[in-house]
């Protein structure tokens, strides 16, 4: 770990790409609107649970205008199983109304406009841009990225926006699209919150936290 941070990040990304060659969002969607809604629903909820309810939801509300006209009490019941359903309903309907009124019914394809939508901060915007539009304007910082960025010594910040700023200075731009998903996959499979599996981790020689969680294993 004496190498320059940028070189260490490149090594980390190389290992993760070989380990998780098909890293992408687990949320199921057919268009940017569906991904936007699914991402809002995924806050404090598993992607699995979101994927259970979105098929029927997207049939009933196929366009932004349909979500914009949704009855709040009805939509709340339809998404209740994802938790925080009142706030999520408010965000979905509010975002849909602004998409209809300000963007002609199409989800914006740039960060500046996306973050003007109710309930949409940089994390959600980055996921929509990277997965729906193939655009790299930043790196989505969710709970996995926040946890692994700290453990890997890539950022000492706690605020997601500040963590993202640190990552953008270290991660090559060509890797911005996939970096979130690489860390998410690794966070779920190996570097879990309560008990990281350092002995089986391909990054343990590059990770300053491995010596803390599993002393004596680093050379």
Residue 93 has pLDDT above 60, yes or no: yes
Residue 97 has pLDDT above 90, yes or no: yes
User: What CATH number does residue 198 fall under?
Assistant: 1.10.1670.10
What range defines the domain where residue 82 resides? 32-132
Residue 145 has pLDDT above 50, yes or no: yes
Are both 68 and 123 inside the same structural domain?
yes
Q: Which of 88, 98, 142, 146 is catalytic?
A: 142
Are both 76 and 97 inside the same structural domain?
yes
- Is-contact 212 152, C-beta < 8 A? no
Axis crossing angle, helix 32-41 with helix 122-132, rounded to the nearest 10: 140
User: What CATH number does residue 55 fall under?
Assistant: 1.10.340.30
Q: Which of 123, 146, 175, 178 is catalytic?
A: 123
Closest CA to 50 of 62, 59, 38, 60: 38
Specify if 100 maps to a domain.
Answer: yes
How far is Cα 37 from Cα 58, in angstroms, rounded to an integer? Answer: 9
Are both 80 and 63 inside the same structural domain?
yes
How far is Cα 26 from Cα 67, in angstroms, rounded to an integer? Answer: 23
* 142 is annotated as an active-site residue: yes
Alpha-helical runs (H) found in the chain:
5-19, 32-41, 47-60, 64-68, 72-79, 85-103, 111-114, 122-132, 143-151, 160-170, 176-189, 210-213
- Find the mean pLDDT for residues 54-66: 98
Among 79, 99, 132, the domain boundary falls at 132
**What would you measure as the largest C-alpha separation in the chain, in angstroms?**
60
At 188-213, the pLDDT tens digits run 999 999 999 999 999 999 999 987 77
Are both 125 and 188 inside the same structural domain?
no
pTM: predicted TM-score of the whole model, two decimal places: 0.89
Where residue 58 falls among pLDDT bands split at 50, 70, 90? very high
How far is Cα 202 from Cα 185, in angstroms, rounded to an integer? Answer: 13
Specify if 146 maps to a domain.
Answer: yes
Where residue 215 falls among pLDDT bands split at 50, 70, 90? low
* 175 is annotated as an active-site residue: no
pLDDT given at position 219: 42
Among 95, 110, 132, the domain boundary falls at 132
Domain count, the chain: 2
Are both 60 and 124 inside the same structural domain?
yes
Are both 91 and 148 inside the same structural domain?
no
Residue 86 has pLDDT above 60, yes or no: yes
Specify if 19 maps to a domain.
Answer: yes
Are both 42 and 124 inside the same structural domain?
yes
At 7-16, the pLDDT tens digits run 999 999 999 9
What average pLDDT does the chain have?
A: 94
């Amino acid at each position: 770990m004496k190498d320059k941070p940028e070189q260490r990040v490149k090594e980390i990304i190389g290992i993760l790409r070989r380990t998780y060659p098909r890293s992408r969002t687990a949320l199921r969607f057919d268009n940017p609107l569906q991904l936007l809604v699914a991402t809002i629903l995924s806050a404090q909820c598993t992607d699995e649970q979101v994927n259970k309810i979105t098929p029927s939801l997207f049939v009933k509300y196929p366009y932004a205008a349909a979500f914009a006209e949704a009855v709040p009490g009805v939509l709340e019941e339809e998404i209740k199983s994802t938790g925080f359903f009142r706030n999520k309903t408010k965000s979905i309907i509010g975002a849909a109304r602004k998409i209809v009124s300000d963007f002609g019914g199409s989800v914006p394809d740039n960060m500046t406009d996306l973050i003007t939508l109710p309930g949409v901060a940089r994390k959600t915007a980055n996921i929509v841009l990277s997965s729906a539009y193939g655009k790299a304007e930043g790196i989505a910082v969710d709970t996995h990225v926040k946890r692994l960025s700290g453990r890997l010594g890539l950022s000492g910040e706690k605020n997601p926006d500040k963590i993202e700023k640190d990552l953008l200075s270290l991660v090559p731009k060509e890797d911005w699209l996939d970096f979130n998903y690489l860390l998410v996959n690794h966070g779920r499979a190996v570097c879990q919150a309560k008990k990281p599996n350092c002995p089986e981790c391909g990054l343990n020689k590059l990770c300053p936290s491995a010596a803390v969680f599993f002393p004596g294993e680093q050379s």
